[in-house]
Amino acid sequence: MLIRSQDNGFNHPIASEITPPDAYLRRREWLQQVAMGAGALGMGAWATRDARAQMARPGKLAPLPGVKSAVAGASTVEAVTAYDDATLYNNFYEFGTDKSDPAAYSKQFKPRPWTVQVEGLVKNPRTYGIEDLLKLSAMEERIYRLRCVEGWSMVIPWVGYSVAELIKKVEPLGSAKYVEFVTLADKAQMPGLRSGVLDWPYVEGLRLDEAMHPLTLLAFGMYGEVLPNQNGAPLRLVVPWKYGFKSGKSLVKIRFTDKEPRTAWNVSAPQEYGFYSNVNPDVAHPRWSQASERRIGEGQGLFAKRRKTLMFNGYEPQVGQLYAGMDLRKFF
Ligand SMILES: Nc1nc2c(c(=O)[nH]1)N[C@H]1C(S)=C(S)[C@@H](COP(=O)(O)O)O[C@H]1N2
Ligand SMILES: [Mo]
C-alpha cells in the first residue's frame, strides 16, 4: 500500500520491486516431488487445473478441513495460488511493510488464547473465545480471488463460515447500520506497530448488509489448515469483492454502529482509500490504474502475465445489487 515518509508525503512500494521466491525453482521442486510420488498424496478438495495446487495439504499447521460451500459464487474454478506464494508474500503492516516481513516477524506470534469482543448496537453483546467461534457454525471451504489495491491477486482456498452466522447470534438492533472490525495491536508481539505508517489499531468497516452477505467470510484457515500467523491467525475477514485491505487480519473486536466507521486506510489517505473500496477496474487509484492485475505466481516484471481486473473482482452477479443506484465513482 503506501508508506508515510518522513516529509509526510507518501511513497508506494510497488509490488514489482519485491522479488518473490523464484517461480522456476518452485516448479522444479514440485516436479521432483511428483517424481517421488508426494504429489499424488491426499489431493486437496481444491485441486484445480493447476498441477502445483493439486498437492497435498501443506502439512505445516493443524488441519482445519471444510465442506465445499453451497454459497453461490463461493468457489472459483481458477487455479489456486501456491501455498508458498500465499504465505511468503503478504501485507500485514503490524509485522512490517515489506512483503516478506509478515512471514519473517510473526513466527513468535501467539494466536492462542484469543477472544473476540462483539459489542455495540446488538441485543446480545458477548466476548467469544476462539474455541467457541470455531464451533459456532460448520466450516466451509471457499476458493476466493483476493485482489490487492496494489495490483496483484491470488486465489486462496479459505476455510471458515459466513460472518452472517455470528451476526445472527448477537442480533443487531434496528439502529445498527455498520460493522466495525478491529484487529490486534500488541506492541509486544508486533514490531511493525513501532512505525507510524498507520493509525493503530488497524480498523476496517462494512455496511451491515455487506457484512451480512453470505460471501463475506470469517476465515479460520486456508489450504485445509489453520491460518498461518502472517495470513491473519487465528481469524480474519475475507471480503472477496473488495480490495484486500478491507479484509482485516487477527480480529479482536466486532462493533455494530449507526455511523460509518473510520477506517485505518481512509484516515491515512482519504483521497486514495474510500470506505467502500469495491474492486473496480473503471475507477483508477489516484496514482495508478486498476484496470489489470498480476496473479501471484504468474511471473514478475517484464514476464508478468497481466489479467483484466473484473468488476467487483468477478463477484458482480452476487453483490452488484448491494450498490444499485450508487455512484461508484463518488463512493469508491
Ligand atoms: N490487520 C491487518 N489486516 C490486513 C492488513 C494489515 O496490514 N493489517 N493488510 C491488508 C491487505 S492490504 C491485504 S492485500 C490483505 C492481504 O492478505 P494476505 O497476506 O493473506 O494475502 O490483508 C489485509 N488485512
Ligand atoms: Mo492490499
Burial of 137 (0-12, 13-18, 19+ CB in 10 A): middle
Residues framing ligand 1 (Cβ under 6 A):
1, 90-94, 146, 148, 154, 183, 202, 231, 244-245, 247-250
Whether 11 has a binding-site annotation, put simply, is no
Q: Can you tell me which atom of ligand 1 is nearest the CA of 192?
A: 7
3-state SS record for 133-176? HHHCCCCEEEEEEEECCCCEEEEEEEEEEEHHHHHHHHCECCCC
Whether the pLDDT of residue 253 is over 90: the answer is: yes
Residues with CB under 5 A from ligand 2 (ion): 91, 148, 244-245
The CA distance from 278 to 323, in Å, is 10
**Which position has the grid cell 489495491?**
149
- What's the pLDDT at 1? 63
Whether 68 has a binding-site annotation, put simply, is no
- What's the pLDDT at 10? 37
Whether the pLDDT of residue 117 is over 50: the answer is: yes
The CA distance from 112 to 116, in Å, is 12
Domains of the chain: 16-323 (3.90.420.10)
Shortest-distance Cα residue to atom 11 of ligand 1: 245
Shortest-distance Cα residue to atom 19 of ligand 1: 90
- What's the pLDDT at 14? 41
Encode pLDDT of 8-46 as tens digits.
Answer: 333 434 433 333 434 433 444 444 443 433 333 334 555
- Cβ atoms 49, 185 nearer than 8 A: no
Encode pLDDT of 119-165 as tens digits.
Answer: 999 999 999 999 999 999 999 999 999 999 999 999 999 999 999 99
Whether 202 has a binding-site annotation, put simply, is no
- What's the pLDDT at 39? 36
**CA distances from residue 260 to 206, 244, 271, 275 in whole angstroms, order as listed:** 8, 19, 17, 8
Using a pLDDT cut of 90, give the percent of the chain over it: 81
Confidence of residue 300 (pLDDT cuts 50, 70, 90): confident
The β-bridge relationship of strands 251-257 and 115-120 is parallel
